Structure 1
Amino acid sequence: MSYTRLLYHIVFRTKDSKNTIPETHEKELYAYLMGIINNKKSTLYRIGGTANHIHLLIDLHPTIALSDFMKELKEYSSKWMAKNPNFPHFEGWAVSFAGFTYNLKEKETIINYIKNQKEHHKSVSFEEEFRSFLIENGVEIDERYFLKE
């Protein structure tokens, strides 16, 4: 038997960072995303976000590549949201996402960060947060493509 703990903090946004996730229905969306995560034999520790992006803290099953997981998560949820009258302005998800692994010792810190998204974004834009997130994790940003698709 193999033993793994693949703790990912994932951030993804709506197409063009538009505010198309109504706060009044975000829990419905979060529950749907949790169902997808559970069906992928993965564990959701925390989900949160704002009208234009979502943060996940998950333990991804070792048989699933992160890119495949995100492709399916966005594909299934897009189809569901398109049929759901509670998300009338949703146009889809942006192509890109950010995902980084963390040590289990950092789990509570990340959970608290995700819990406080609405308060955090009263003073920090998504673009500022995303840029900072990439820099902190050592990702070189190509300005030609940053938040363009």
Structure 2
Amino acid sequence: MPHIRIYIHLVFSTKERYPFLKTPELRAKVWKHIFENARSKGIYIDFINGYAEHCHILLSLGTEQLLSKTVQLIKGESAYWINQNKLCLQKFEWQNDYFAVSISDSNIEKVRNYIANQEEHHKIKTFAEEYDEFISRFELMAKG
């Protein structure tokens, strides 16, 4: 039996970064659903939070899990659930792209705290600024 521990900091936004998830109460409901649904599918989410137009997830991949498939399951099912439950006035969609970086054990707590403090963080910095900072800091580029 393989023993692995691969942590990923995953971030994705709503379609065109529209602030669909306007209230803390709505966000809490969506994050709770994503967390519970992921667990039911064997996806381990360590921590989840976000803001009006994006979501941060600290997750650990299992031995048979591909990042792309895991992201597809999380985003696809949650968008479907949001629309089925009419949680937004218009059709809810996540943007197709996302970014993800691996996290070392020594940085897990730092990433949890960062994700936990999204409400305060985005009083200072917009998601667009945060996004550009991530892309630059981690030298991310699209990989097909």
Q: Deviations over 1:102-147 (max 9, x none)?
A: 1111000000001111111111111110111121112148xxxxxx
Equivalent pairs: percent with the same residue? 26
The CA distance in 2 between the partners of 1:60 and 1:125, in whole Å, is 29
- Structure 2 CA distance for aligned equivalents of residues 17 and 49 of structure 1: 12
Q: Please name the residue that 1:52 is paired with.
A: 53
Distance in 1 (alpha carbons) for counterparts of 2:18 and 2:71: 19
Superposition deviation, residue 21 in structure 1: 0.9
State how far apart, in whole Å, the 1-side matches of 2:91 and 2:62 are: 29
SS for the counterpart of 1:118 is helix
Q: TM-score, normalised by structure 2?
A: 0.91
Q: How many residues align?
A: 141
Whether the 8 Å CA contact 1:6–1:62 is kept in 2: the answer is no
CA distance 1:90–1:122, change in 2 (3 Å): farther
Correspondence for 2:20: 20
Q: Match for 2:20: what amino acid?
A: T
Seen in structure 2, the aligned counterparts of structure 1 residues 123 and 46 have a Cα distance that, compared at 3 Å, is: same
Report SS of the residue matched to 2:82. helix
Once superposed, which parts of structure 1, at least 4 consecutive aligned residues long, lie more than 3 Å away? none
CA contact 2:135–2:141 (8 Å) conserved in 1: yes
TM-score, L = length of structure 1:
0.88
Q: How does 1:86-101 map to 2 (within 5 A)?
A: 86-101=87-102
> Residue 4 in 1 paired to residue 4 in 2?
yes
Residue 48 of structure 1 and its aligned partner are, at CA, apart by: 0.8
State how far apart, in whole Å, the 2-side matches of 1:51 and 1:86 are.
13
Return the offset for 1:90.
4.6
Structure 1 stretch displaced more, 32-41 or 124-133? 32-41
- Which consecutive residues of structure 1, in runs of 5 or more, have no partner in the other structure? 142-149
